[in-house]
Amino acid sequence: MNTARTVGVLLALVASACPAFSQGAGVEWEVLNQEVVALYQKGQYDRAEVVAKRALAIAEKALGADHPAVATSLNNLAELYKAQGQYALAEPLYKRSLAIREKALGADHPDVATSLNNLAGLYDTQGQYALAEPLYKRSLAIKEKALGADHPDVATSLENLANLYKATNRDQQAAELEKRAAAIRARAR
């Protein structure tokens, strides 16, 4: 898998404490998510999966099945499955995370763009470019609108789409996106 693409697929693992949680549940959820990040970074996916499932259960119990914190937990678990090549397990979690975020936050929220990007990354990893491309494009459009055309997250989205274009032999389109991403990154320094 392309490392630049992997970097672009955000692991939305630790969110700030959610005020909707009761004090104890929110702290526990946050601690568990931090543990998931640490285990993920060490490549200890089996242990991270157990902890991620606990965090998901806490979020669902405390906040209900349609809360953005649940979407974050679903995304985290999906990322773990994807990292292990368990794509069939990851896909429905990414889709549910996306649906929750769209409903709770609105179709043009940056977290929706992250969910779109992550689902696109899953399809991209599997060579399902026709499924990935419209998701990458929608993610890019949301980020440009919500964050501005010169935001570093826009550069990441441009790079992800450029990598897909390269994988599908559209080198000229890829080069244009890479040039734009490089200009954004140069301005951000």
**CA distance between the termini of the chain:** 28
User: Do residues 111 and 175 both lie within one domain?
Assistant: yes
Range of the domain at 51: 15-105
In this model, does residue 10 exceed pLDDT 80? Answer: no
* Residues 119 and 100 occupy one common structural domain: no
Question: What confidence score (pLDDT) does residue 161 get?
Answer: 98
pLDDT band at 147 (very low <50, low <70, confident <90, very high): very high
| pLDDT 10s digits, 120-143 | 999 999 999 999 999 999 999 999
User: Do 77 and 137 fall within a single domain?
Assistant: no
Confirm whether 92 is domain-assigned: yes
71 and 138 inside one domain: no
Task: Identify whether residues 112 and 99 lie together within a single domain.
Answer: no
Q: Quick one: 123 and 86 in the same domain?
A: no
Answer with the one of 76, 105, 134 that is the final residue of a domain. Answer: 105
What confidence score (pLDDT) does residue 188 get? Answer: 85
- Average pLDDT taken over every residue of the chain: 89
Q: How confident is the model at residue 189 (pLDDT cuts 50, 70, 90)?
A: confident
- Regarding whether 23 and 95 lie in a shared domain, the answer is yes
Residue 7 lies in a domain: no
Answer yes or no: is pLDDT of 1 > 90. Answer: no
> Do 100 and 114 belong together in one domain?
no
Hey, how many other C-beta atoms are within 10 angstroms of the C-beta on 99? 15
Question: How far apart are alpha carbons 97 and 67 in whole angstroms?
Answer: 10
Residue 176 shares a structural domain with residue 135? yes
Q: Out of 105, 135, 159, pick the residue that ends a domain.
A: 105
Indicate yes or no: pTM above 0.75. yes
One domain for residues 70 and 117: no
| Number of domains into which the chain is organized | 2
Per-residue confidence (pLDDT) for residue 6, from 0 to 100: 37
